[in-house]
Amino acid sequence: MPAIAESLAEWAHGYEPDAEDLALARRSLLDTVAVTLAARDHPVSALAAELPDAARWATVGHVLDFDDLHIESTTHISAVIVPAVLAAGGDARAYLAGAGVMARLGTLLGWSHYAAGWHATCTAGAPAAAVAAGVAWGLTPRQLATAMALAVPGASGVQAAFGTHSKSLQVGFAAEAGVRAARLARAGATADPRAVDAWLKLVGAEGGAPQAGGPAVPGGLAIKMFPCCYAMQRPIAALRALRAECGPDDVTAVRVTTPGATIHPLIHDAPDTGLEGKFSLPYAVATALLDDFPGFEAFTDDAVGRPEVRRLMAAVETERTEGGGGLLDGEAVLAVTLADGRVLRSALSYPPGSPQRPPTEAELVEKFAACGSDVPALLKDTTWESARALLLAELPGKAPA
């Protein structure tokens, strides 16, 4: 029986994308470049300036938490794979090969891996980035499997980083680890592909064989409509449906009932910073009630520190129901109690932008415009080659001091 790395390498090397795959790759490119440009002035952008291209672009592209997500593997595929492909001078096929490996590896790791506290975007991302860069450079299946094994030391990241600069930085480290591994494999470095099997076992993978058929990215990708953790997308959308019936001053209590798994990443019950607010269920409730649209301005330190935010967060009660093994399991049910005694209810299974409710062209245009007044023009007629030139111009690196 071939090693998992060998099976995935053969799949990636031989994969021929269809029109649907290519459409997903283009949407992923545009979405990732847009959210990366949106963070040009973020403090993390300055911190990442000395990192290599893949690490720099992945770090900046992930810091706003506005990038896409693969629900089944709980991984931010494009934040890792797009920068790796661009750094290696690749194209849509290299993206789809890397994205497909990341989706399959992340699915093998399973919910138990994520629930244990691993950041699956990093653990699945490093070997997948190696495949993406390797396909861009024309590596053989054997070299691709070797590159995956060489990326294993960089396949690490933890959820304890959520709400800090470390979260986006470790995503950048994963992307760069993959590119570095592919470069070493191309140069003739050796490694045993069975190292990937051993690593999967050590980090608690649920087992099985990787999916061989189907689209490049099984299940598709979820596009975020709000710049925060995906676990907040559903409660925000559910609560916004009630805004026409109440104002924030009318609310005395909010009860959120949802499977515990769906809010697992929301580790900050009393956030003090904008980054912590991106991983807070109480803040999801507060911003959904207070802000006309929970955009970038809703996730600043000043926004999180508003007195009215503090009052509303204190009014939130959470009931975690049993079962579930994913961010969109079951449904989120919200009960909002008003000062006059009325109770308003809202329930939601799939938020806007999820694969079950894909974004419309108009919604994507609106999202890109929110990423910067110049972003729609910069993205016009974007190709993989021009996207690399654009990021080099907008987010240039600098030599270490």
pLDDT digits (tens, 9 = 90+) for 74-97: 999 999 999 999 999 999 999 999
- Report pTM: 0.94
Query: What mean pLDDT is predicted for residues 364-377?
Result: 95
The pLDDT of residue 59 is 98
Count CB-CB contacts under 10 A for residue 184: 18
Mean of per-residue pLDDT scores for the chain: 95
Instruction: Please write the tens of the pLDDT for every residue from 42-57.
Output: 999 999 999 999 999 9
What pLDDT is recorded for position 399? Answer: 63
pLDDT of residue 214: 86
Q: What is the pLDDT of residue 248?
A: 94
Would you state the pLDDT for residue 1?
67
Segment 127-140, tens digit of pLDDT: 999 999 999 999 99
The pLDDT score that the predictor gives to residue 212 is: 81
Question: Both ends of the chain: CA-CA distance in Å?
Answer: 49
**Average pLDDT of span 284-294:** 95
Question: pLDDT tens digit string along 301-357?
Answer: 999 999 999 999 999 999 999 877 889 999 999 999 999 999 999 999 999 999 999
pLDDT in tens, 207-246: 788 888 889 999 999 999 999 999 999 999 999 999 999 9
* pLDDT (mean) for 257-280: 96
